[in-house]
Amino acid sequence: MNAERWSEVCRLFDAARELAAQERAALLDRECAGDSDLRAEVDSLLAKDEGDSFLDEPGPAAMPVRLSVGPYEIVAEIGRGGMGVVYEAVRRDQGFERSVAVKLVKRGMDTDFVLRRFESERRILAELDHPNIARVLDGGSTEDGLPYFVMELIRGENLLGYCEGRKLDVPGKLALFRQVCSAVTYAHQRLVIHRDIKPANVLVTDEGIPKLLDFGIAKVLAADRDAADRTETALRILTPEYASPEQILGKDITTSSDVYSLGVVLYGLLTGRRPYRVETHRPEEISAAVLSQQPERPSTRARIPADLDSIVLMALRKEPDRRYASAEQLSEDIRRHLEGLPVIARKDTIGYRARKFLARHRTGAAAAAVLLVSLIGGIAATTREARIAERERQRAERRLNGVRKLTNTFLFEFHDAIKNLAGSTPARELVVRRALEYLGMLAAEGQNDLSLQRELAAAYQKVGDVQGLGGGPNLGDSAGALKSYRAAQGILERLAASGAAPLDLEELAGCHLRLSKLFILRKELAQALQEGRRSVAIREELLQSGAAVPRLAIRIAEVRRHIGLILHMTGDKDGAVAELDRAREGFEAALRTDPSDLEAGKGKAGTLFEMASVQQDKGDSLAARGRAEEALAIDQALLAVHPEDARLKLDVAMTLHDIGEYDGDLGERKAALARMREAHAITEELAAADPRNAQARLSRGYCMRDLAKLLAAEGELAEALRLDRTVVQIMEALLQEDPANGYARALLARACAGAGNTLSPAVSPAPMPGLTEAERWRQSRAWYRRSLELWDAIRAAGKLGTDAREAETVSASLARCEKALKETPGVVEE
């Protein structure tokens, strides 16, 4: 065979392949006439063409194992180690692309087990949202069965390298280290133990922000199905230099193990050395040293203050309960050292304490005693909490099933989207839609699986929150939210009907409350009231039956307050007062048991706030202001303890707003304006911090509108008009996203009327430079008309309620405009 003849064979092979058997034979008969070798060649190739070939398994080929991992396209390899490989990868999804780090676990791990383990952990891990923690985003297995984890991609240098490269001094290193501690503390509070803290797992970004990697991954990988393997597993997976004695022994691991590893890291940061002297670096030798050697005092290896010696050694104690009780305590002790205060690591020596104390204070020996007592008390409390936490955690771990997978994949990625990708509404909506599809499928399949049904109900409620419940970040889709809540309600009712566990009923009560809140948002008050009453009825029944539902009394007070609010909105002031009083009693009872209870504190303040508003409506603004100031005091005290609580900030703003209103009622215009400005500033800040949050935008508009009103009364017409125009824009945007947002529509109507008032020479006698009187009347009339149209629409939808009077006022104002325009000389109607 030569190339020429081969090309003839190829030509015939190509042509024949396309044909059916009969035509094929005809073709070959014709083309190969007389050349039986050619015919045999082509026939034998055609025969081989039929079957499978080793060449088409897209070879080893088309499975480019290392070009993608699951849905992630690999961009570059960034690391490699005992556990596997780390890649930089991107995920290209609908509308957005993000770079991530993908850790591919090498062969040899028990994939199924690792994945099951990961499934049970991923929701918890996904919820770790802290500036110093690299987030775990996803996980799964490749087509060829290797587990992988997807994490936030951090570009940075490892902790030791960073400190060395930048030649950080001791305080600089300690500051970084304390940030790592804050990450660990945060995770511990959420019941997650890291288990593999080491400098390689702390990357410091160019901005100097340390990020802790691999939270919880060590646990997922530690295939310690039975305790006998644990030691071996620990050694295989962990870095023995950083593992605690209990980890090496395969004993129970607690938050204290992380404290120990932090101690090793701190040791290395301060001295550049490891705590134990070893000859070789065999794991066995290191393990033996960790178990038996006392670490050398860091000060023998580097010039560091004695306090730091004690701090490091306390973290490195062999017995977990003699270490710092928490990472927070370790961090606090470092802070105390930095500020020259006594450190608890050395508290046992009285002479030391006295020296420290005298160095700082000349007076007040009692203060030292108080400090000591509170420190010891603190340790005891945290130890107990840590144990309870661990038990709760173990309990929670047992409740795992497939629903988690979908809620995690969709809802939690969705949460990421909310936080990081403001403005990508279509992508987020898509995610919600997908989540609903999956939920629908699961709901149909798992009818008999009680725990699955519970998870489903929770997931539907979560979706509903994300779609449209006020008070949290949401998409402003109240119709969608209503559907989701109804789906949850249906599931919970079926669960309740089939043998009613108390917690299912409680969950159902919670669902009715959510529905009620949603109906308020939609200004469907009769429905809201009905849902609220259902909720309280279920909870009261639970309380009567003595069911073990935690915090039930507070929850009942919560619903009562909510019902009071609805009653007030419907105009039933006496009913509202009665309901609110019962709510207040409930919260106060809870506060008597635990004065620091945040929820009860917030509840009481909220109830007082609402009572004030009812009192104002009853014509007693003085009493109203008293109530509101009580509420403000509670909120501000809570905010001092929880400065990051956005909800509390909003509460403070709303209370300030109302106090301003009462001041105005009482003729104290200056005070009113000051309060309103304060409220306005807080809502501006909140909306700026979370620009997609419908609730925050609504609150911003609300305060802005009332500030405009006060400014107009003060003659600041230009400023007032500017604010009302801004309110109009905010509300128009909200309505575009969710036409059923009744609040936004009412506020829009109000802002239009407000602009009309500011422009109307009759309402606002102050001059407006650049506008003739006739022009002011005309513009005013246009605003009133628009306001009236909106009120008419609200009335037509049956949602006017107590706002009827406002609508009438606008109507009267408009009539006055028309009249003025007729009577004003020189005004020509076009």
Coil, strand or helix: which one is 830?
coil
CB 285 to another protein: min, Å: 22
CB 74 to another protein: min, Å: 6
- Assess 145 for contact with another protein (CB under 8 A): yes
Buried b vs exposed e over 581-595: b needs ≥16 C-beta within 10 Å?
ebbbebbeebbeeee
- Assess 97 for contact with another protein (CB under 8 A): no
CB 44 to another protein: min, Å: 6
Buried b vs exposed e over 203-219: b needs ≥16 C-beta within 10 Å?
bbeeeeebbbbbbbbbb
Which of 830, 827, 790 has the alpha carbon at shortest distance from 810?
790
**Which residue in the set 38, 75, 578, 671 belongs to the binding site for another protein (CB under 8 A)?**
75
Residues 6+ apart with CB under 8 A from 117: 219, 220, 221, 223
- Assess 667 for contact with another protein (CB under 8 A): no
Cβ–Cβ under 8 Å, residues 379 and 325: yes
d(CA 724, CA 748): 9
Angle between helices 170-189 and 159-166 (to 10 degrees): 160
**Which residue in the set 77, 445, 594, 808 belongs to the binding site for another protein (CB under 8 A)?**
77
Angstrom CA distances, 410 to 377, 407, 437, 454, 463, stand at 43, 5, 11, 18, 10
Report the site for another protein in 525-564 (rule: CB under 8 A). none
Report the site for another protein in 98-127 (rule: CB under 8 A). 101, 103, 107
- Assess 176 for contact with another protein (CB under 8 A): no
d(CA 432, CA 481): 11
**Which residue in the set 20, 22, 30, 58 belongs to the binding site for another protein (CB under 8 A)?**
58
- Assess 44 for contact with another protein (CB under 8 A): yes
- Tokens 């109203």 belong to residue: 624
Region from 48-56, 374-382, 662-670, 816-824 binding another protein, contact rule CB under 8 A: 48-56
**Which residue in the set 28, 154, 554, 654 belongs to the binding site for another protein (CB under 8 A)?**
154
**Which residue in the set 34, 51, 499, 667 belongs to the binding site for another protein (CB under 8 A)?**
51
Three-state SS sequence of 284-335: HHHHHHHHHCCCCCHHHCCCCCHHHHHHHHHHCCCCHHHCCCCHHHHHHHHH
Nearer to another protein, 43 or 507 (CB): 43
- Assess 66 for contact with another protein (CB under 8 A): yes
Is the sign of the CA dihedral 768, 770, 774, 778 positive or negative?
negative
Cβ–Cβ under 8 Å, residues 246 and 261: no
Region from 60-68, 431-439, 552-560, 591-599 binding another protein, contact rule CB under 8 A: 60-68
CB 4 to another protein: min, Å: 9
CB 208 to another protein: min, Å: 17
- Assess 448 for contact with another protein (CB under 8 A): no
d(CA 738, CA 744): 9
Amino acid in the structure at residue 269: L
In whole angstroms, what separates CA 505 from the centre of its chain? Answer: 26
Report the site for another protein in 179-198 (rule: CB under 8 A). 196
Report the site for another protein in 3-32 (rule: CB under 8 A). 3, 6-7, 9-10, 13-14, 17
**Which residue in the set 20, 22, 34, 82 belongs to the binding site for another protein (CB under 8 A)?**
82
Region from 61-69, 170-178, 277-285, 326-334 binding another protein, contact rule CB under 8 A: 61-69
How many other CB atoms are there within 10 angstroms of residue 697's CB atom?
22
CB 43 to another protein: min, Å: 11
**Which residue in the set 21, 76, 444, 548 belongs to the binding site for another protein (CB under 8 A)?**
76
Per-residue binding letters, 205-234, with another protein (x by CB under 8 A) = --------xx--xx----------------
Cβ–Cβ under 8 Å, residues 247 and 257: yes
d(CA 664, CA 636): 22
CB 194 to another protein: min, Å: 12
Phi and psi based region of residue 183 (left: phi greater than 0; alpha: psi -120 to 50; beta: remaining) = alpha
d(CA 760, CA 780): 5
CB 10 to another protein: min, Å: 5
Nearer to another protein, 60 or 643 (CB): 60
**Which residue in the set 158, 189, 424, 570 belongs to the binding site for another protein (CB under 8 A)?**
158
Which of 647, 575, 636 has the alpha carbon at shortest distance from 611?
575
CB 18 to another protein: min, Å: 10
- Tokens 């019941």 belong to residue: 191
Nearer to another protein, 158 or 293 (CB): 158
**Which residue in the set 8, 24, 39, 63 belongs to the binding site for another protein (CB under 8 A)?**
63
Report the site for another protein in 698-727 (rule: CB under 8 A). none
First-to-final CA distance of the chain = 97
CB 219 to another protein: min, Å: 12
- Assess 136 for contact with another protein (CB under 8 A): no
**Which residue in the set 1, 350, 366, 828 belongs to the binding site for another protein (CB under 8 A)?**
1
- Assess 600 for contact with another protein (CB under 8 A): no
CB 104 to another protein: min, Å: 10
Which of 208, 185, 212 has the alpha carbon at shortest distance from 200?
212
Region from 70-78, 177-185, 241-249, 324-332 binding another protein, contact rule CB under 8 A: 70-78
Nearer to another protein, 57 or 445 (CB): 57
Phi and psi based region of residue 25 (left: phi greater than 0; alpha: psi -120 to 50; beta: remaining) = alpha
Cβ–Cβ under 8 Å, residues 312 and 170: no
**Which residue in the set 81, 364, 377, 426 belongs to the binding site for another protein (CB under 8 A)?**
81
Region from 51-59, 337-345, 491-499, 630-638 binding another protein, contact rule CB under 8 A: 51-59
d(CA 491, CA 458): 10
- Both tokens assigned to 769: 């430079």
The H or E element that residue 564 is part of is helix 552-570
**Which residue in the set 33, 40, 67, 526 belongs to the binding site for another protein (CB under 8 A)?**
67
CB 553 to another protein: min, Å: 47
d(CA 173, CA 164): 10
Nearer to another protein, 9 or 797 (CB): 9
CB 105 to another protein: min, Å: 9
DSSP character at residue 477: -
**Which residue in the set 25, 26, 79, 294 belongs to the binding site for another protein (CB under 8 A)?**
79
Buried b vs exposed e over 252-268: b needs ≥16 C-beta within 10 Å?
ebbbbbbbbbbbbbbbb
Nearer to another protein, 151 or 184 (CB): 151
State the number of binding residues for another protein (CB under 8 A).
62
d(CA 141, CA 635): 48
Nearer to another protein, 15 or 766 (CB): 15
CB 96 to another protein: min, Å: 18
- Assess 84 for contact with another protein (CB under 8 A): yes
Region from 75-83, 164-172, 510-518, 743-751 binding another protein, contact rule CB under 8 A: 75-83
Report the site for another protein in 354-393 (rule: CB under 8 A). none
Buried b vs exposed e over 5-20: b needs ≥16 C-beta within 10 Å?
eeebeeebbeebeeee
The H or E element that residue 496 is part of is helix 478-497
For another protein, the binding residues (CB under 8 A) are 1-3, 6-7, 9-10, 13-14, 17, 44-49, 51, 53-67, 74-87, 101, 103, 107, 144-145, 154, 156, 158, 196, 200-201, 203, 213-214, 217-218
